[in-house]
Amino acid sequence: MTCKSRRSRVFIGVVILVTFYYTFAYFGYYGKRHCLTFWNEEVTPHMFSPWRLTCNQAEEKSRLESFLLRYRNESRVMYHTKKDVNNVPILSTSLTEKIDAIQRMGCDQPNFMCGHKDRCGLACQIHHRIGCLLISYVTNMPLIHTVDRDEWSYSNKWSDAFLPMGSNCTPGKNTYTWDWLPDPNSASKCHNVLLDNFGTEIPYPLSWGIPVTQEFHNSINSLKPKIPDPFVWMIGQFAKYAMRLNQTMEQKIQLWKKEVGFNPENATIIGMQIRRTDKTDEGLDTFHELDEYFIEAEAYFKKIELSQSSGRESLPRIVYLSSDNTTVLEDAKTRYPSWKIIGFHSTLSESLTSRKHGLFEIVRDIVLLSECDYIICGLSSNVCRLLYEIQTYKDFMYDSPHLKSLDGDYDYALKGLHTMSRENMKIWTISDKFAQNCV
């Protein structure tokens, strides 16, 4: 037998083995699809069946469920929802402890790098970094927060205002990478993928909302109507975690409150976020005159007065006004002299030319606005959407709603194809049918 003939036979044998493997992986035992359809840890690097050349949502979800199912009974899931969850604070604490537990896992475990390489404003940055935390939570992988290496719009660092986010791990051979910006070379044609040094590709974990354990799913559903929208409540919880202020920033906030007389414990305060610098070019739908804000504020004050006993005096009209235009605050004081209008001159946070100097100021305005009884803003703004999310874990004196949007509806907008569609703004768990088909 010639060498050429022998090589040909070896090649044909390899082709037959590979074909058999993928056929077996695709159909599973006795014709059933199973959890190794897309994932096999016995092969190094991890072996997947090939991705399709076009976006296929059904395949994408099967790949994700296959990956997530691996964690259902694994010991590296260090923290589970408490069995006695019977109120919202306990569930919130349980979720925070799970996030912390994941970040404390050993750095020899799979981890991933995530941040946001974009010069967008703080609320946009926070939304993408909340996404990083969500991926960490969903995949049970410690987060390596890349904020110090990202494109960052501000002269102050993240750590100048916030506590560190993520783990203490450093990139290694077991580190996956994630990027929110579109990747034309992504194996998936639907979204980017989490990619490690061995070429392992994990589908975008947030494609269909936030996947959670069945136990957590049952707990959050048992607390309705206290949690009417589980998705927004979850985003709010991760926003609270991401935006933990350091001690210096906490002290600055208290000094600013005293400076302007901001005391929501003793009076009803309405917050207004009035954007100007980047709204003048976006059309009439997102630019709103000052009077529109005050008409809505007056309507809310009257609503509260009507809900109270007839003997009560009218409420003092108090407004906390946040704007990126230095003239808006003085203009409001001039046009509404009977109102108490408090605030600071332009935060510079949304001014594209001056944004880098405004980190502390925009953090201050987000914190103070979130403590108001009612907020008037536009959900086309990342800041307004962040405030809406933060409100889910706040206690209020009056019944909802606590926010009025002058434009747009709520969505969770992210870069590229990663924005969650409205039908997927939900929490979900792996179907029992899919789990039963795993062998």
d(Cα 337, Cα 177) in Å, to the nearest integer? Answer: 54
247-405 sits in which CATH class? alpha beta
Taking residues 282-289, what's their average pLDDT?
64
The pLDDT value recorded for residue 392 is 92
For the stretch 347-351, contacts whose Cβ atoms lie closer than 8 Å and that sit 24 or more positions apart, written own/partner, are: 347/322, 347/323, 348/324, 349/121, 349/122, 349/324, 349/383, 350/121, 350/275, 350/276, 350/277, 350/278, 350/324, 350/383, 351/277, 351/278, 351/324
* CB 400 within 8 Å of CB 114: no
3-state secondary structure 146-185: CCCCCCCCCCCCHHHCECCCCCCCCCCCCEEECCCCCCCC
pLDDT given for residue 33 in this prediction: 43
Average confidence (pLDDT) over 220-235? 93
Query: So what's the pLDDT on residue 357?
Result: 62
Q: What is the pLDDT of residue 274?
A: 93
Q: Do 382 and 180 form a contact (C-beta atoms < 8 A)?
A: no
Model pTM score: 0.85
Q: What's the CA gap between 18 and 26, in Å, rounded?
A: 12
Tokens for 437, please give them.
């088909």
State the average pLDDT for the chain: 83
- Output the pLDDT for position 316: 95
pLDDT in tens, 68-116: 876 554 534 434 445 556 689 999 999 999 999 999 999 998 999 999 9
| pLDDT higher at 17 or 84 | 17
Task: Name which of 276, 256, 261, 284 is nearest 348 in CA terms.
Answer: 276
User: What kind and span of H or E run contains 24?
Assistant: helix 3-27
Q: What is each CA distance from 63 to 31, 91, 244, in whole angstroms?
A: 18, 29, 34
pLDDT digits (tens, 9 = 90+) for 414-433: 987 888 888 889 999 976 55
Q: Which amino acid is at 314?
A: S
Residue 45 is predicted with a pLDDT of: 44
pLDDT band at 149 (very low <50, low <70, confident <90, very high): confident
Burial of 149 per CB tally in 10 Å (0-12, 13-18, 19+) = exposed
* Span 346-368, average pLDDT: 72
Please calculate the CA angle 60-71-200 and round it to the nearest 5 degrees.
50
Q: What residue ranges do the domains of the chain occupy?
A: 20-50, 88-239, 247-405
List beta partners, residue 153.
none
What is the distance between the alpha carbons of residues 377 and 362, in angstroms, rounded to a whole number? 15
Backbone angles phi, psi at 40, to 5 degrees: -145, 105
Q: Cα Rg for the chain, rounded, in angstroms? A: 26
The pLDDT tens digits of the residues spanning 378-415 come to 999 999 999 999 999 988 877 889 999 999 899 998 98
Question: For residue 187, which of 202, 172, 177 has the smallest C-alpha distance?
Answer: 202
